[in-house]
Amino acid sequence: MKNRAKQFFVYLENERGLSERTLKAYRRDLDQLLCFLAAENITQPDEVTQHHIRALIAQRHRQGLGSKSLQRLLSAIRSFFKWMLREGMVEHNPAVPVRAPKSARHLPASLDADTINRLLDIPTETPLAIRDKAIMELFYSSGLRLSELAGLNWDQVDLPSGMVTVTGKGNRKRMVPVGRVAAKALLEWRKVRGQFVGFEEPHVFVSRRGDPISPRTIQARIRHWAKHQGMPQNVYPHLLRHSFASHMLESSGDLRAVQELLGHADISTTQIYTHLDFQHLASVYDKAHPRAKKK
């Protein structure tokens, strides 16, 4: 089994071209499998059954491993046996029938409209502040992901029509509207952007050195302004995306439209925002209905 694992890692590194970080994750997960099988005196790949895989998952679950980690462990084992099956080292993949415990779905946090207005009402007295306001306005206006906004080029932005085209996960392109306030903030940023970089730079947002702005810098600047505006909670880019989705759904009730705007491949990913809406409705009900009021 150890020799097969070594060959598998050569395949992952040379043929799949995985990063060192991903390779380390595979090694950690497969080390758990190899240790478990060694304790069971199993030395040959074709001796492994689905019952062994289930026993390993159950053991690690009892030891406190979280559902996401268990899913990753099972995914690594499946990939290992899939490779051995393709190479003719085994006749079946024992991990295929095994299912890991489902992850608990946590409701995404969001900011209410008043809090959003407070966050975005920053003083635009410097070019960097003008840039940061444009960044935050675009996040909230269009529900972009951090990577989408950081990599945005000017040729993707059509301010006269109020649209921006982005390439999201799975290389899927989508067009999303840019609100009036966000469009105005982008125009203001374009006026002062020349202080940092020439017009030949395609990226919309750049650092003070003129380089394309990094996701880490965007996160830091949003934290800075949240603190400056006296926000009591941690504010991060995805929180603005969550707020965009929640407010759109509350106002429109159109789940399919919100799915398209967010770029979700599966509507089940978008449906988590309906729970936020139901929470709001439940809160209204508890406060308003005579039979629901607490004594």
Q: Which of 51, 99, 169, 275 is catalytic?
A: 169
Which pair of structure tokens corresponds to residue 80?
A: 């290992």
**61 in catalytic set:** no
**241 in catalytic set:** yes
List the one residue out of 202, 163, 201 whose CA is nearest residue 182. 163
Q: Which of 133, 193, 221, 264 is catalytic?
A: 264
Q: Which of 27, 78, 238, 280 is catalytic?
A: 238
Q: Which of 52, 133, 241, 242 is catalytic?
A: 241
Which residues, including other chains, have CB under 8 Å from residue 123's CB and lie 6 or more apart? 129
In angstroms, the CA 151 to CA 172 distance is 15
Q: Which of 60, 145, 221, 247 is catalytic?
A: 145
Which pair of structure tokens corresponds to residue 151?
A: 């990599």
**145 in catalytic set:** yes
**275 in catalytic set:** no
**264 in catalytic set:** yes
**273 in catalytic set:** yes
Q: Which of 4, 140, 242, 273 is catalytic?
A: 273
Catalytic positions, written as ranges = 145, 169, 238, 241, 264, 273
